[in-house]
Amino acid sequence: MKFTVSLKELSQALQKVTPALPKKSTLPVLEHFYFILEGDMLKVVASDQKITIMHQIVVNPSEDGKILVPGKRITDIIRALEESEEFTFASDDDTFGITIKTPFGKYSMKGLDPLEYLTLPELFQSEKPDITKIVNPIDEETKRKAALIAMKDITWASERTYFCVSVDDFKPAMTGVLFQFQGEKVNFVSTDGYRLTKATVFADEHNVFPDNLSVIIPARTVDLLRKADDDVLISFIEQNEKITHTRFDIGNTVIITRIIDESFPKYENVIPKENPYTLKVNKKEIVPALRRVSLFASSMQKLIKFDISSDSLTLIGEDAEAGTQAQEKIPCEFNNEHYLVGFNYELFLEAIQNIEMEDNEESVYIEMSGQTKPAVFKPKQDGEKLLMLLMPMKI
């Protein structure tokens, strides 16, 4: 293998695939990038067996080939050569020795036989969907196998749900985000048992979804989707007629992830159908006030009391052991005379900060039905795009 490429392009390619490169693995071969040069196309692959990423770039080729390149070493070399513009890479098919030439000098290191790498059938035996067949499906089978979603929508939905996944490995279904495709829309849902968020993207000329298909995507993959820099083609890889992996084609990058093969909680059952109490409060006023009052609340309990009247909201934080107490009053609109409820201030702040204002609105709607039932957060009272649930705390 031999090729020449700009250092910047190669560096960007490695950055794309590095999230799938384990720092330490029981399989040392996985600590290597897999370089595949065919014609002028260089494919760079990394995998930790749960997630696989491939990015391809155009290079100035001299000789096709394949080689496993030590991940940390090549990354460190590129970082040290950041001022160089040209980068010539060559490998020996017999000894697997690697030579790098730049205007600064010549460098050598040892690679590995590419035959030692994983076979990765989910990557190399799957194909990028034909976008024309997704937009204009010829049959129900074609429609069922793939989806198209605009960059702004996948990044928005991933951002709104990523923060809410569980970190408890004993609840594997909650450690990912549910992608619930329903033809005319797709719901992105996550929960950690104390809170829940649902972001909905609707089908249009840019978004095409299959009917009645649900998969749970691991949080690590959703984190990558938050940074998508192009529209996303989603396809589903099956084994024995059962979905095992999901493929995301994003520009010149392919992400293959194992799905979480568990049953997601029936989240619809916990969303209150009737909420007699509605609080409307300015986001720009409640966030800084809550931050200040939380400084005087117990760092163990994290409890803030919300004392609500028809036109004002009093935030109360206290820590009996430390002898601290704080109150702040801000204006609000409430459809009742008085209501007292408590929330974990960290979870409340995280929820309200992830509510994106629409149409120059500055207010957030919080609907409640009781001190032991989840509160519903919305950017609009009648909106369908986003809702978040948060369980109150016992006062």
Of 129 and 69, more confident: 69
Q: Are 9 and 69 in contact (CB under 8 A)?
A: no
Q: Looking at residues 264-272, what average pLDDT do you find? A: 93
Tally of CB atoms within 10 A around 191: 23
CA–CA separation, 48 vs 21, rounded Å? 6
Query: How far is it, in rounded angstroms, from Cα 52 to Cα 14?
Result: 13
pLDDT at res. 362: 84
Task: Write the CB contacts of 338 (distance below 8 Å, at least 6 apart in sequence).
Answer: 307, 308, 309
Q: Other CB atoms closer than 10 Å to residue 175's CB: what's the count?
A: 20
- What distance, in Å, lies between the first and last C-alpha atoms of the chain? 68
pTM of the entire structure?
Answer: 0.93
Question: Over the stretch 50-100, which tens digit does the pLDDT of each residue have?
Answer: 999 999 999 999 999 999 999 999 999 999 987 778 889 999 999 999 999
Residue 135: predicted pLDDT: 77
Alpha-carbon distance of 363 to 305, in angstroms, equals 20
> What are the structural domains, with CATH classification, of the chain?
2-118 (3.10.150.10), 128-268 (3.10.150.10), 271-390 (3.10.150.10)
* Mean pLDDT taken over the chain: 93
- Identify the band that residue 140 occupies on the pLDDT scale cut at 50, 70 and 90: low
- Say what the pLDDT of residue 359 is: 67
Is the model's pLDDT at 138 over the cut of 70?
A: no
Q: What is the pLDDT of residue 139?
A: 65
Mean pLDDT of 284-308: 96
Confidence at residue 219, expressed as pLDDT on a 0 to 100 scale: 97
